[in-house]
């Protein structure tokens, strides 16, 4: 997948425009329209192949607002970058419609580690990777929301030679926790997971 973020107009917001979307708005007004092949105005969130990039390289490539970076990416299990990898926290948070309380999507949590991805088959690997303060929220449509877009995608694909399966898109929000902040930029889950030394010891309820 090629990046379409080389044009600054795809990354920079118009003068006076601030981007402070809620989780619901990211899923419903941006990701859902992306998957449905519907226009989004303003079209400010770029497509980006995340995993070649370390999080500190996103500036100028993703949509940046107040030390947060937003972009669309394809679903993948390979979250290894040049200098590290994104580690899943093993939890999903529901994103609900504020009016109907119906689930419209999910938010998955990741933390960035600098170093080599652990190899379970090699206990004599290099020194352990170092956990950073970089956090990623990866937004997915709910199964019902994905199903509701199938007819729209089918109709659009018949009119287009583009063979990309847009149901495979996710929307990502990446930011770095400031050691000196008061925690207001983080959700409760972010605070809990960043305070733990060993994420492998987490036991979460079903």
Flag whether pLDDT at 168 surpasses 60: yes
The predicted structure's pLDDT at residue 43? 82
**CA 3 to CA 45: how far, in whole Å?**
12
Q: Which residue has the higher pLDDT, 43 or 197?
A: 43
pLDDT at 187: 57
Q: Which is higher by pLDDT, 140 or 160?
A: 140
CATH superfamily, domain 23-117+126-148+166-197, is NAC domain (2.170.150.80)
Residue 152 φ then ψ, to 5°: -65, -45
pLDDT category, 15, cuts 50, 70, 90? Answer: confident
Q: Which of 33-47, 55-69, 126-140 has the lowest mean pLDDT?
A: 33-47
pLDDT at 202: 44
The per-residue pLDDT for range 62-121, each reduced to its tens digit, is 999 889 999 999 988 889 999 999 999 998 999 999 999 999 999 999 999 999 988 755
Structure tokens at 76: 């993948």
Please check the confidence at residue 9 and state whether its pLDDT lies above 50.
Answer: no
For the segment 168-186, the average pLDDT, to the nearest whole number, is 75
Q: Say what the pLDDT of residue 180 is.
A: 60
Judged against a pLDDT cut of 60, whether residue 10 lies above it is answered with no
When pLDDT is averaged across residues 138-167 and rounded to a whole number, the result is 57
> Is residue 138 classed exposed, middle or buried when 0-12, 13-18 and 19+ CB atoms within 10 A define those classes?
buried
Give the domain ranges of the chain. Answer: 23-117+126-148+166-197
Q: Kindly report the average pLDDT of the chain as a whole number.
A: 77
Q: Is the pLDDT of residue 153 over 80?
A: no
94, β-bridge pairs: 106
């Amino acid at each position: 997948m090629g990046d379409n973020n080389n044009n600054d107009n795809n990354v920079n917001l118009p003068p006076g425009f601030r981007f402070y979307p809620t989780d619901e708005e990211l899923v419903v007004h941006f990701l859902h329209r992306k998957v449905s092949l519907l226009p989004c105005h303003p079209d400010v969130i770029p497509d980006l192949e995340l995993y070649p990039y370390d999080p500190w390289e996103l500036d100028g490539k993703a949509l940046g607002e107040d030390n947060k970076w937003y972009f669309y990416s394809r679903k993948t299990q390979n979250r290894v970058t040049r200098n590290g990898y994104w580690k899943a926290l093993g939890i999903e948070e529901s994103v609900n419609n504020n009016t109907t309380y119906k689930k419209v999507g999910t938010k998955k949590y990741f933390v960035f580690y600098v170093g080599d991805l652990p190899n379970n088959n090699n206990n004599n690997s290099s020194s352990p990777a170092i956990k950073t303060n970089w956090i990623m929220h990866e937004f997915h449509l709910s199964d019902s929301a994905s199903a509701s877009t199938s007819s729209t995608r089918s109709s659009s694909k018949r009119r287009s030679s583009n063979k990309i399966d847009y149901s495979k898109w996710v929307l990502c929000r990446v930011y770095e926790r400031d050691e000196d902040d008061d925690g207001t930029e983080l959700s409760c889950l972010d605070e809990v997971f960043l305070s733990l030394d060993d994420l492998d010891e987490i036991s979460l309820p079903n």
